Amino acid sequence: MARLSLVQVTDHTYYIPSPTNVGIYVDGNSAVLIDSGSDKDAGRQIYRLLNEQGWELKMIVNTHSNADHIGGNAFLQQKTGCAVAATKYEAPFIESPFLEAAFVYGGYPYPELNSKFLVAKPSKVTDVIFSSGPIKGTSLEAVPLPGHFFEMIGIKTPDDIFFLADSLFPEKIIIKYHLFFLYDLEQHLQTLDKLETLEADLYIPGHGELLYSLERLIEINREKVKEIISFLADACRKKLTFDELLAETCLRYNISLNPTQHVLVSSTIRSYLAYLVSNGLVRYYFADGRMIWTDS
C-alpha cells in the first residue's frame, strides 16, 4: 500500500485517504477513529500517523464489519488497547470474521475464501452501540444507514462532517463495476432517500473523494440499482436457474469472476431476487431438482 497521510478537514476532524477512507475525530490529544482501513498495513500506517501527532487512540468506531473497514482493528487494538465500538449485528462479524466468508458463501467456505478481502483478523468489540444517537464516550453521533450491510451506520461529528460508510458508491466504481455489494435492497433504497435529507458541511464516503453535496451521487446510485432490478426481472422471463442468472449478469456487466467476486456478486444477486420476489416482480418454482426463476 502507498504511504498514507493525514488530511485536516476542520479543527477537530481529519481523514486518511486510502482505498477505504479512515476518519479521525480529535479532542485534546485523544483520537477516535472511524473505521481502521483495509488491512494490517493500513493499521500500522494509521498507528504511525497518530504517533506523529502525539495523539492517543481511544476508540475505533466501525461503521460496519466488512473486512476492508475493520482490517486495521486487530493491529491497533493490540498496540494501544483501544476500545472498539460497533452495532449489535455488526459486532459478531468483527469478533469472528470468518462469519463474513460463511455468510457470503452460504456454507462452510472453501480455502480460497479465507483471504484478507473477506476475512479480517479478529478484534474485541468492547462497546456495542445503538445505530442511532450519541456514541457513548465520544462526541460523535451514529446515524442508521442499513442496506449495504446488516446494521451499518454513518457518523456525524460535532463540527458537521458526515462519514457515509458504504451507503453511496463513487461514480467511477459504478461506471466500472455496476454491481456493488448489497444485503437488503429495500433498506438500501430507504437509506438513499434518507441521505437526501441529511445536512452536513462535508461528506466523506467509505470509498472515493470528499463530497460537498450528495444529490447527484444519490441519483447515480439509485438509478444503477433500479437498472439492475429491471435487468434481473427481465432476465427471469427466460426461466433461469440461479447460475444462469449469474452468468447473464456477468455477461451484461462484463464481470470476471474469481472466488471473492463470485461470492460477493452471487450474494448480492440473491438479495436482489429477494427484493424482486417480495415486490411481486418475479417468482420461482422447483422442477427436476432445480430452482427456476421466472416472471410473475
Q: Which residues bind Zn ion (CB under 5 A)?
A: 66, 166
CB of 56 vs Zn ion, minimal distance in Å? 28
Using the structure block, give the residue that is written with the C-alpha cell 442468472: 245
Q: Smallest Cα–Cα separation from 28: which of 7, 12, 39?
A: 12
Cα 142 from Cα 139, distance rounded (Å): 10
Cα 244 from Cα 233, distance rounded (Å): 13
Q: Smallest Cα–Cα separation from 115: which of 2, 264, 277?
A: 264
Considering beta carbons, is residue 55 or 149 the nearer one to Zn ion?
149
Distances (CA, A) of 249 to 225, 227, 244, 246, 290: 13, 12, 9, 5, 19
Cα 232 from Cα 240, distance rounded (Å): 10
DSSP secondary structure letters along 21-58: -EEEEEETTEEEEE---SSHHHHHHHHHHHHHHT-EEE
Considering beta carbons, is residue 165 or 229 the nearer one to Zn ion?
165
Considering beta carbons, is residue 155 or 245 the nearer one to Zn ion?
155
CB of 53 vs Zn ion, minimal distance in Å? 27
Q: Smallest Cα–Cα separation from 221: which of 196, 246, 247?
A: 196
- Residue 176 burial (10 A CB sphere; 0-12, 13-18, 19+): exposed
CB of 146 vs Zn ion, minimal distance in Å? 12
Q: What are the beta bridge partners of residue 279?
A: none
C-alpha dihedral (116, 117, 121, 123), degrees to nearest 10? 170
CB of 20 vs Zn ion, minimal distance in Å? 8
- The answer to whether the beta carbons of residues 67 and 117 sit under 8 Å apart is yes
Considering beta carbons, is residue 166 or 248 the nearer one to Zn ion?
166
- Residue 110 burial (10 A CB sphere; 0-12, 13-18, 19+): exposed
Considering beta carbons, is residue 80 or 267 the nearer one to Zn ion?
267
Considering beta carbons, is residue 21 or 50 the nearer one to Zn ion?
21
DSSP conformational letter for 136? T
CB of 203 vs Zn ion, minimal distance in Å? 16
> Which residue is at the shortest CB distance from Zn ion?
66
CB of 66 vs Zn ion, minimal distance in Å? 4
CB of 206 vs Zn ion, minimal distance in Å? 6
Considering beta carbons, is residue 55 or 117 the nearer one to Zn ion?
117
Considering beta carbons, is residue 20 or 45 the nearer one to Zn ion?
20
CB of 265 vs Zn ion, minimal distance in Å? 14
